[in-house]
Structure 1
Amino acid sequence: MNIKEKYEVAKKEYEKWGVDVDKVLENLKKVKISIHCWQGDDVAGFEVDKKELSGGIAATGNYPGKARNPEELRKDLDKALSLIPGKHKINLHAIYAETNGEVVERDEIKPEYFKNWVQWAKERGLGLDFNPTIFSHEKAKDGLTLSHPDKEIRDFWIRHSIASRKIGEYFGKELGQPCLTNLWIPDGYKDIPSDRFTPRKRLKESLEEIYKVKTDEKYNLDSVESKVFGIGAESYTVGSSEFYLNFASRNGVIPLMDTGHYHPTEVVSDKISAMLLFFDKIALHVSRPVRWDSDHVIVLDEELKEVAKEIVRNDAVDRVVIGLDFFDASINRIAAWTIGTRNMIKALLSAMLTPNDKLKKLQEEGNFTERLALMEEFKTYPMGDIWNYYCEINNVPAKEKWIDEVKQYENKELSKRK
């Protein structure tokens, strides 16, 4: 049987449970994943006075062929996008500005330095998201930025964050879809602090200054991202989960949860429903922590599936901004983008193909035997045949055929980069 014939057979299996598979594929096509640009160059960026990677961030590995300039990065993204079904967004950091050889400090970045990204996105029907880059800088080397005791340093990062939000607003206006501008800082201490309160008070005041400057929510959405610890901030993180949850709630910004930014025994899937009860929108950075926030390429594991289930079965596809955040320098970078993004979409497809109303009803009735039995049986339903058909109708390679295209691109393009 060909892909279409297998799809028709598989579709009947799901239809027995009231799942409209054709409608599922229509809805899946509307979901935009925010694909992070920094997988393509190991979070190096294109600043003229390029800084050493710092702030507890590490891209490990030395696989050849990383992007060395904006043109190569966009070319690599084009290749990855040709292997990923659907229309999505690209997530940029401030360090990906193009300043035509001019040294521009981060508190002076302007929308015009991203016009090439906007034009590229327009031509492809993509959206753009954005992040101020509050790391890898001499004003972040001692581990504190927006919570620093030195007001001059705090003010520098406040100006940078405001400028970044204006760039996000510019993206939204130009591309006709809102940009999520997400703020994350590495602030913390390596050893036990003698004062946890004062740095958090300074961070709160800095954030209030940043968000006092209003942008149009039609074009720019603001989010803040917590973290439990980092390299060099093992004992204390200023921007903890509790801090940002309270700040977001009181100041009308979106809380962003990174799947690697919690204690190893915590899972983000369990937090989503709780957050949706109190916020109109939430945001995710989906990564794969291995023992720590190691930013491994996401695989189709149980936690990824649970994250997708929580989004889908709570009718929250339009309320959860899904972004990716991993950077593996030990494998082909186009393959990393492709594997991770396809897995995120597969997880959403699997969740949409699940008879969620039936399973909810069984739980409400206390029928835990049938609930567990059906949840286990659906793990081996023919979702793969639905996925292959979805790839085919979106004109991207089905199954493992995309690997050959990555190999060809590596031989033709990446192997020439020294």
Structure 2
Amino acid sequence: MVNAKAVEAAYQVAKERYAEVGVDTEAVLDKLQTIRVSLPCWQGDDIHGFLTPDAKLTGGIGVSGDFPGGARNPEELTSDLDEAFKLIPGKQRLQLHQIYAVTNGKKKDLSEVGPEDFKYWVDWAKENGVLLDFNPTFFSSPKVKENMTLSSPEKSVRDYWIQVGRNGRKISNYFGETQGVQSIDNFWIMDGMKDEPISRLDPRERLIESLDEINKEKFDEKNTIESYEGKLFGTGVESYTVGSHLFYNNYALTRNKLWCMDIGHFHEAVDPSDYLSSFLAFGRGMFLHVTRPVHWDSDHVPAMNDMLIRVMRALIRDNLLNKTTIGLDFFDGSINRVAAWVIGTRSAQKGLLLGMLAPIDELKEAERNYDFTLRLAETEELKSFPFGAVWDEFCLRNNVPVGMDWFKELKNYEANVQLKRN
């Protein structure tokens, strides 16, 4: 077990080092404490949900791996989340998909799911100090017609999914009303084509019409606001994605909504950090999905790699946190699913912390004065500063395990809870 006195001693040294360059680590820790990250509930059970848990995943998504002990019901999923939150410093948020409705044994179609089916989650969240966000589910359903939902050429198909979207907005509004904090209602649809379409415009015009129809009912935005998530492509929709990055970017701008930028939905050679200031110079706000692309459009557990660091630095350096809610979006069945939540969230928090531990105002002033020598010299020296000691102190103050101590606790939970499910 990590020695708390050693952690505190190392932090004091780090505090002095950062003070030398004008960084107040106490102020940084206070700021980090206020930032909630929205975890994806679907990591805990490989996106099966509770409505039709045996349904085949469709829509260009898929979960690989068969690590034992995945959650099979609401009680097991919330138990796993409780364990994860014990190992993550600070208070967080949780994203729920519509298929995670708890209907108490009543058989319901997806289009019939409403706020009453999420009371279980609202009660659990209130008890645990967790804030809830929402995602209407537009995939893994027999009502998907040839990889089309809201953009389908068939009105009956569109009408079905419009009803799903309407109900989703009511559920998100219910979250906001009960928790007293705005819930983000994030739309991602699978629609696209495997081969080249004749018309790229027609499906997009139908999607605009469907989304506008969903949004006709007015809700108080102190309770809920919509965000729209673009995608590069997915399996089965390799040639054409209706809801592309640019499509939803423009839809959010013209409807005064949020754009959801998922950094795992970009090719790994693209730097999504530049999109933050480009969009937020015009846009109302952003729901950021932090994940990790590997070779193509994918959703791996976030690691504190160069891309994640650049994204978090962009948020901090340009003071964009006030217009951004940070969420995670990944699903990995090849490793312990609770560990994935812990690793991904702690990596995102570390990226934020690293971005804050810099004399940003001084560096901006140097840049304005064309002092690019100072800019490069100081940013390079900061790379060897004792960032890890500040992170350990943050964990210690939040009464969560420091270093690999969290993994020891996780392995105990795995042996005594998860593996006994099988």
State the TM-score bracket (shorter-chain normalisation).
over 0.9
1:137 is aligned to 141
273-282 or 148-157, larger mean C-alpha shift: 273-282
Query: TM-score of the superposition, structure 1-length normalised?
Result: 0.98
Mapped to 1, the partners of 2:267 and 2:212 lie a distance apart of 28
Q: Which runs of 4+ in 1 moved over 6 A?
A: none
What code does the residue aligned with 1:87 have?
Answer: K
* Secondary structure of the corresponding residue to residue 255 of structure 1: strand
Q: Equivalent of 1:105, from 103, 109, 117? A: 109
Cα drift, residue 131 of structure 1: 0.3
Distance in 2 between residues matched to 1:24 and 1:260, nearest whole Å: 28
The 5 Å alignment of 1:120-131 reads 120-131=124-135
Unaligned runs of 5+ in 2: none
Q: Does 1:179 align with 2:183?
A: yes
1:124 deviates by 1.0
- Give the counterpart of 1:275 among 276, 279, 286: 279
Aligned to 2:19: 15
Equivalent pair of 2:192/2:242 in contact (CA under 8 Å): yes
- Aligned equivalents of 2:256, 2:307: Cα separation in 1: 29
Aligned match of 2:222: 218
How big is each residue's C-alpha offset from its partner over 1:293-340, in whole Å with a ceiling of 9 and x where there is no partner? 221111111111111111111122221010000111000111111000
Aligned equivalents of 2:384 and 2:299: distance in 1? Answer: 28
Residue pair 2:252, 2:283 contacting (<8 A) in 1 also = no
Q: Is 1:261 matched with 2:265?
A: yes
Residue deviations 1:112-132 (CA, integer Å, cap 9, x gap): 111010000001111000000
CA distance in 1, matches of 2:266, 2:301: 17
Percent identical across equivalent pairs?
49
Match of 1:77 among 50, 74, 81: 81
- The answer (yes or no) to whether the contact 1:54–1:141 under 8 Å persists in 2 is no
Where in structure 2 are the equivalents of 1:9-408 lying within 5 Å?
A: 9-48=13-52, 50-408=54-412
Q: In 2 relative to 1, CA 414–293 (structure 1 residues): closer, same or farther, beyond 3 Å?
A: same
- State the TM-score, normalized to the length of structure 2: 0.97
> How many residues of Structure 1 are paired with residues of Structure 2 in the alignment?
418
AA at the equivalent of 1:379? K
- Write the deviation string for residues 131-160 of structure 1: whole angstroms up to 9, x where unpaired: 000000011251010000110110111110
Contact 1:55–1:141 (Cα < 8 Å) also in 2 = no
Asked if structure 2 preserves the Cα contact closer than 8 Å seen for 1:48 and 1:103, the reply is no
Does the 8 Å CA contact 1:63/1:329 hold for their aligned counterparts? yes
Helix, strand or coil at the partner of 2:150: coil
Q: Could you give the per-residue CA deviations for residues 324-369 of structure 1, whole angstroms, max 9, x where no partner exists?
A: 0011100011111100000100111111111111222222222223
The whole-number CA distance in structure 2 between the counterparts of 1:50 and 1:58 is: 14
Q: Deviations over 1:211-254 (max 9, x none)?
A: 11111100101101111211111111111122111111111111
Q: Which amino acid aligns with 1:253?
A: K
